[in-house]
Amino acid sequence: MSKSDAQTLFAAAPLPIATLDRAERLACLRLIRSENVGAVTFRALINQFGGAARALDALPDLARRGGGRRPIVICTQAAAEAELAAAERLGATPVFTIEPGYPAVFAATDAPPPMLYVKGNSALLNTPSIAIVGSRQCSAAGAKLAGQFATRLSEAGYVIVSGLARGIDRVAHEASIARGTVAVIAGGIDSIYPPEHADLFQRIATEGCLITERPPGFTAREKDFPRRNRIIAGIALGVVIVEAAARSGTLVTARYANELGREVFAVPGHPLDSRAEGTNGLIKSGATMVTTPEDVLEVLAPIAGLRTLAASAYRAEAAAVVTRALADIGEDECNAVLAVLGPAPTDLDAVQRATGLSIREVQVAVLELSLAGRITRSGSGLVARVMD
């Protein structure tokens, strides 16, 4: 089995697509909020059982078979109902990867968040978009450039995505809000950060779209902003970087864009300006240098159509997904997989070769071990052992 085959089977297999009623949304939310169910495991469970309710019923037995030392903690119906009710009071709606409204270009990547809360014009999430991000302490020239890029790109029909931060993010949102902007936030849908952006926050919630993977009432921590940056990169066709210092968080967005196969554009700056050190470094590393919005449009013109077609093909394939019976494995197979793993992430192709098990046996063993908390999973079909 090739590495690409392993990735298709274990990480990026299409999810079945359906319009969910409230009961099904509650089941999906309970599954996501249950112990040891991350983005990759959620995808595997839905593909194995065809729905969240059946997956929830199977969790205790799967975790026990994987060698869990105690019963797995499953999110209660009451907790899920309370979370959805809080979101509804705030005017937000959950959109799951298995629903048609989830950003299709993001759903087709490895391990997208299983659910996003959306407030505002959700149609913007499936309109071709470009992200514009940069320094919070931007220069006047940087702000002017960000405004020019956002205005022209939105006039050309692209939704502008950014992170609602100070500086470049704010300028990008303000310049594009009349034609379509999406703000990705790190906290809950009711978390306004920074506080001085309260008016802009409310405008985007009404005229544009706010999205987050976090529940209502959640206050973002420092470690949550990289997760937000991955969403920014994932829902866009490319990312334009306008001013970024050498250790800027903006460069995290650029890294995620590269990992997700998105275009990375960087606006060059003066070598003596520390705010340009990161962008100039990106150009040296292979990012596309752009000085005008037309440079971006020229590169995106052929890509936008291809990515849209690819996302449509993914959705069509997902609509045809059928559930597959779990392979019948026992403790020996789980132990064999565990024995070849260490703390360093290992691709599943290597696990399959090292164990000599069938593809389906490895798939089920990985699912059970992850639910038991004995291994961790990440995108691109990587697994690692949790060391005692």
Give residue 382's pLDDT.
87
Dist CA 343 CA 365 (whole Å): 17
Give residue 315's pLDDT.
55
Give residue 13's pLDDT.
57
120 contacts 207 by C-beta, under 8 angstroms? yes
118 contacts 204 by C-beta, under 8 angstroms? no
**In the chain, what are the helix, strand and coil shares in percent, each to the nearest 5?**
50, 15, 35
- Domain coordinates of the chain in residue numbers? 3-89+323-385, 106-313
Helix, strand, or coil here: 60?
A: helix
Helix, strand, or coil here: 134?
A: strand
Mean pLDDT of 198-211: 98
Number of H helices, E strands in the chain: 16, 12
Dist CA 122 CA 77 (whole Å): 27
Q: In DSSP terms, which residues pair with 160 in a beta bridge?
A: 130, 181
Dist CA 253 CA 234 (whole Å): 9
- Quote the mean pLDDT of the chain: 89
354 contacts 340 by C-beta, under 8 angstroms? yes
Residue keyed to tokens 């405008």: 203
Spacing of C-alpha 59 from chain mean position: 24
Mean pLDDT of 21-38: 95
Mean pLDDT of 134-162: 97
Percentage of the chain beyond pLDDT 70 is: 89
Residue 163 banded pLDDT, cuts 50, 70, 90: very high
Q: Please write the tens of the pLDDT for every residue from 70-121.
A: 899 999 999 999 999 999 999 999 999 989 899 989 998 888 999 999 999 9
Residue 323 clears pLDDT 90, i.e. is over it: no
**CATH T-level topology, domain 3-89+323-385:** Arc Repressor Mutant, subunit A (1.10.10)
Min mean pLDDT across 99-108, 208-217, 296-305, 316-325 is at 316-325
Say which residue, 295 or 302, is predicted with more confidence.
295
DSSP state of 122: G
Which amino acid appears at position 107 of this protein?
Answer: A
Mean pLDDT of 292-297: 96
253 contacts 229 by C-beta, under 8 angstroms? yes
Q: Which residues contact 105 (CB under 8 A, 6 or more apart)?
A: 234, 235, 237, 307, 308, 310, 311
Dist CA 364 CA 334 (whole Å): 9
Dist CA 222 CA 136 (whole Å): 15
- CATH number of the domain at 106-313, out of 3.40.50.450, 3.30.70.20, 3.90.1720.10, 3.40.50.150? 3.40.50.450
Query: Residue 342 has which token pair?
Result: 């260490």
Say which residue, 96 or 6, is predicted with more confidence.
96
| Helices (H), ranges, 119-221 | 140-155, 168-176, 198-207
Dist CA 99 CA 89 (whole Å): 22
Query: Residue 65 has which token pair?
Result: 């078979």
First-residue to last-residue Cα distance in the chain: 31
Residue keyed to tokens 């065809």: 50
Residue 310 clears pLDDT 90, i.e. is over it: no
DSSP state of 90: T
Spacing of C-alpha 30 from chain mean position: 19
Q: Which helix (H) or strand (E) holds 350?
A: helix 348-355
Spacing of C-alpha 278 from chain mean position: 24
Say which residue, 7 or 228, is predicted with more confidence.
228
Q: In DSSP terms, which residues pair with 130 in a beta bridge?
A: 160
